[in-house]
Structure 1
Amino acid sequence: MAYVFVQCRDAACRMRFPAPAGEAAMLRCPRCRGEVAIAVAALDKPADVPSMAGQPRLVGLLDNIRSIHNVGSMFRTADGAGLPHLHLAGITATPDHPRLAKAALGAQQTIGWTYHANGVEAADQLRAQGYRLCALERLESAARPSLDALDVSGVGLVLVVGNERAGVDPDILARCDAVFSLPMLGQKSSLNAAVAFGIAVYYLRFGNLGFAPG
């Protein structure tokens, strides 16, 4: 869908906002209800997808994600980063839930998914298939291997994200080959689960490690 930026004609308001090109002529300013005029067309966004051929496969395991909105956002992130599959476990909502589509914006139809009632059993199944597991979690212990030390040559990686409040299930964490933590420099100890998942996925997908979409 083509978009334009419109601007309110009222000199005291001059609010500027994007709108679908086909609807711009019928809009009123949401701030003052005055008339608007098209200021400029939005720029086209060319696709720029780097080649990831021959790189290890990256998928996600979302275990007991409480928020349906977070799950939908994670589907959208997975689609944007080219992940082929998400494993959903425990109370994590599946695309069968009607509210998930609002956040996923159609990505729930483009990403493969599998539901598991038990996240620990899902982790065991993925390990049996040859995947390495990496948890997105903040741990004080330095004993757990870091992601940078993980040998992923010729294998796939499962990025594990746990419950927003309880974190990653300890029995899943015990099966993980590494832990991936995001630095927190402010007063808060963690980010929103969907935001953290997005940062981690894009680092793994397009960063130095270069995991392939499938």
Structure 2
Amino acid sequence: MYSIQKFSALAPKTKAKRFAELLRILILQLGNDMAQIRNEYEHYAEWENFPASKRLNGKNQAELIDLYKDFRTEAGLGFERDVYLENEPGDRSEAVMQTLPYAVLAHNLRSGFNIGSVFRTSDCFGLEAVHLSGYTPDIDHAMLKSAARGTERWIPHKRWETPFDCIQAHLANGYSIIALETGEGSVPISTVEWPKKGLIILGNEELGIAPDLLEKCSLKVEIPMAGRKASMNVAGAFAVLSYAIRTGYKF
């Protein structure tokens, strides 16, 4: 923890690096809570008597990220992918494989990191859409955007008032409803013959998929565990499932 005297004695590039680190932490931990971000940041900005261009009054989250990038530049550092969400080296302008008629519904996922990973995985394996319901974070959540690496900008997505509305809409269009869940009635992922169209249901990190949603599923898929743990993180399990669909799908 710095005192004003100790902080003032730092070299200019070191100060800029410290402000960049501060903004990164605030962006990732507080997301869109700009009022709290301002309170935390302004305490240190006053020490430097910053001009308006380096203060947060009137700034939105996009301008906050721009300021973060400015401090990184002043510190002699390059961009950092966790916050600076433009195209990464190696990204393509177009997909190289046909999109599969598979979508995912994330209901009551708590973690912005997990749902951001779902977006990125959906892009990597060519799934068609991500659907959100319950208290799953929205796409402007900072941790979601950090994990999604920009994919939330082009993967089709929709928030539904209830998960049942999403399920019903997909049933009406000929989709099978697939649960990624362990337990009675689940079949090992290696034995599945994938339907032509599917909506994958993901449930809460601790509680799994609610029983009333499981009742809507015509297929329940599990990933057999070889170790001592009984289950995987939901984002990791979704990646395994998406790979299995991509490699096992019969066009």
2:217 to 150, 172, 176: 176
Query: Residue 105 of structure 2 aligns with which residue?
Result: 61
Q: How does 1:12-31 map to 2 (within 5 A)?
A: none
Query: Residue 102 of structure 1 aligns with which residue?
Result: 146
1:145: how far off? Answer: 6.6
SS in 2 for 1:133: strand
Question: d(CA) in 1 for partners of 2:231 and 2:187?
Answer: 20
Query: Residue 39 of structure 1 aligns with which residue?
Result: none
Query: Residue 187 of structure 1 aligns with which residue?
Result: 228
Query: Residue 134 of structure 1 aligns with which residue?
Result: 178
Unaligned runs of 5+ in 1: 1-22, 28-43
- Retained in 2: the 8 A contact 1:63–1:160? yes
Unaligned runs of 5+ in 2: 1-72, 78-88
Give the number of the structure with larger relative contact order, counting CA–CA contacts within 8 Å between residues 6 or more apart. 1
SS in 1 for 2:142: coil
Question: d(CA) in 1 for partners of 2:200 and 2:134?
Answer: 16
Query: Residue 18 of structure 1 aligns with which residue?
Result: none
- Retained in 2: the 8 A contact 1:145–1:177? no
1:149 to 1:191, Cα distance in 2 relative to 1, 3 A: closer
1:119 to 148, 155, 163: 163
Question: d(CA) in 1 for partners of 2:139 and 2:179?
Answer: 23
One-letter amino acid matched to 1:114? K
One-letter amino acid matched to 2:149? L
SS in 1 for 2:145: helix
Question: d(CA) in 2 for partners of 1:117 and 1:158?
Answer: 17
Query: Residue 87 of structure 1 aligns with which residue?
Result: 131
One-letter amino acid matched to 1:161? L
1:97: how far off? Answer: 2.3
1:149: how far off? Answer: 5.7
- Retained in 2: the 8 A contact 1:52–1:210? no
TM-score where L is the length of structure 1? 0.67
More helix by share: 2
1:209: how far off? Answer: 2.4
Query: Residue 22 of structure 2 aligns with which residue?
Result: none
Question: d(CA) in 2 for partners of 1:110 and 1:210?
Answer: 25
SS in 2 for 1:65: coil
Query: Residue 121 of structure 2 aligns with which residue?
Result: 77
- Retained in 1: the 8 A contact 2:97–2:126? no
Question: d(CA) in 1 for partners of 2:128 and 2:91?
Answer: 22
1:85 to 1:101, Cα distance in 2 relative to 1, 3 A: same
Query: Residue 209 of structure 1 aligns with which residue?
Result: 249
- Retained in 1: the 8 A contact 2:194–2:248? no
Question: d(CA) in 2 for partners of 1:114 and 1:60?
Answer: 11
1:84: how far off? Answer: 2.2
Question: d(CA) in 2 for partners of 1:68 and 1:173?
Answer: 23
1:170 to 1:93, Cα distance in 2 relative to 1, 3 A: same
- Retained in 1: the 8 A contact 2:176–2:217? yes
1:107: how far off? Answer: 0.8
Aligned-residue CA RMSD in angstroms?
A: 2.7
Question: d(CA) in 2 for partners of 1:46 and 1:65?
Answer: 27
- Retained in 1: the 8 A contact 2:117–2:148? yes
Per-residue CA deviation, residues 110-148 of structure 1 (Å, 9 max, x unaligned), is 101010131123212211221101100001x24x57774
Write out the 4+ residue segments of structure 1 that deviate beyond 6 Å after TM superposition: 44-47
- Equivalent residue pairs, number: 163
1:45: how far off? Answer: 6.5
